[in-house]
Amino acid sequence: MQVQVHPMWESYPKIKADLLSVLQMVESHVRIHDKNIESTIRDLIYSGGKLLRPAYTLLCSQIGSASSQEKERSIAVAAALETLHMATLVHDDVIDEADTRHSNPTIHTQKGNQFAIYSGDYLFCVCFTILSKHASSLAHLEFNARSMEKILTGELDQLNSRYRTVASVKDYLSRISGKTAQLFAVSCYSGAITSDASRRQAVTAWNMGHYIGMAFQIMDDVLDFKGDSQTLGKPSMADIRQGIYTLPLLYAMKAKPNVLHPLLAKKEALTENDLMQIMEIVEETRGVEKAQQVAEKYTNKALKALAKLPDGEYKRTLYEITTNLLHRTV
């Protein structure tokens, strides 16, 4: 497999080079006696994800004025966070029974659920190995471990609220805050602190990351209602069958509970026809537009936070990738 980073970084050669170092650092920590297993995990590392979280870490590591010696540390922190992200993706794919990710067959499809579960666990450990080797302090590490706990409790929360038709918009926002926004916030914050940014700047980076993560997840959920399995690379509407009701649907449920609740009560038994009907109701009640407006609000909050950070090339890059990301159509 040829080593490469996602084409979205073509226009940013410095970030692209650093992201390659990030992937190489992850790879250098994957050392498994059985070379067959090692190569499966190596393929995962280079499987072409967007590397958004490590990119935010790297960009935010230019907020402060730390010396270039800190460069390696920011690459390490970015590598640890990407490893964590990979670990959760591998487990998510088992849970969602997803067959492909970035057009490649998922690990559990290739090697079975058991292999995927332990591979994810292994990657969790690699994440902590990298962090403990490079973190600036035990306190920083504890902070990271606690953040990761929040990500997992977000996932658990989501599972536990499946098929809950009384779920409110507030519940949804709290869920995605743990599940997605937390890791974006940690990525930005960790970058800032490796650069010796001030406390206030680090908090601004945290907030920016949180808002980006919120907008990102809402857009992801919105696109599920717009795209088909080809443009999105994962089966749309899968969430609904699994009882995960996202923002566009929640708005529709608010508007037409009497039509939607009996349909949703079918749970896994929802037919293609039912799903088409649900999509029509979401369209009719303008669920997608309303959700998009919420995403827009978070995007604006993110850009407002970004505006407070010190000027520099990194800031322009952050602005570009953030606006592109949150206005994407796929």
Stretch that binds a copy of itself, among 9-17, 54-62, 115-123, 295-303 (CB under 8 A): 115-123
Tell me whether residue 189 or residue 251 sits nearer to a copy of itself (CB atom): 189
Look at residue 105 and give its three-state secondary structure: strand
Residues 6+ apart with CB under 8 A from 321: 8, 12, 52, 55, 59
Stretch that binds a copy of itself, among 43-51, 153-161, 182-190, 210-218 (CB under 8 A): 153-161
Binder of a copy of itself out of 160, 168, 231, 300 (CB under 8 A): 160
The answer to the question of residue 173 lying near a copy of itself (CB under 8 A) is: no
Read off the tokens for 209: 């990351």
Tell me whether residue 114 or residue 324 sits nearer to a copy of itself (CB atom): 114
Binder of a copy of itself out of 3, 11, 102, 133 (CB under 8 A): 133
Task: Return the closest-CA partner of residue 207 out of 192, 229, 227, 221.
Answer: 192
The answer to the question of residue 37 lying near a copy of itself (CB under 8 A) is: yes
The answer to the question of residue 99 lying near a copy of itself (CB under 8 A) is: no
Helix residue spans in the chain (DSSP H): 13-29, 35-45, 52-60, 71-96, 107-111, 113-134, 138-160, 169-176, 182-194, 199-226, 229-232, 238-241, 247-255, 257-264, 272-284, 287-307, 313-326
Could you tell me if 26 and 82 are in contact, meaning their C-beta atoms sit under 8 angstroms apart?
Answer: yes
Q: Residue 104: beta bridge partners?
A: 101
Binder of a copy of itself out of 72, 99, 149, 289 (CB under 8 A): 149
Q: Which position has the token pair 């994800």?
A: 49
Distance CA 86, CA 107 (A): 11
Least distance to a copy of itself, CB of residue 69, Å? 17
The answer to the question of residue 152 lying near a copy of itself (CB under 8 A) is: yes
The answer to the question of residue 119 lying near a copy of itself (CB under 8 A) is: yes
The answer to the question of residue 129 lying near a copy of itself (CB under 8 A) is: yes
- Number of Cβ within 10 Å of residue 20's Cβ equals 16
The answer to the question of residue 118 lying near a copy of itself (CB under 8 A) is: yes
DSSP 8-state code for residue 181: I
Binder of a copy of itself out of 100, 122, 232, 233 (CB under 8 A): 122
* Total site size for a copy of itself, rule CB under 8 A: 47
Stretch that binds a copy of itself, among 4-12, 65-73, 139-147, 284-292 (CB under 8 A): 139-147
Binder of a copy of itself out of 64, 120, 191, 287 (CB under 8 A): 120
Could you tell me if 63 and 9 are in contact, meaning their C-beta atoms sit under 8 angstroms apart?
Answer: no
Distance CA 223, CA 239 (A): 12
Binding site for a copy of itself (CB under 8 A): 32-34, 36-37, 87-88, 91, 94-95, 112-115, 117-122, 124-126, 128-129, 131-133, 135, 137-139, 141-142, 144-146, 148-149, 152-153, 155-157, 159-160, 174
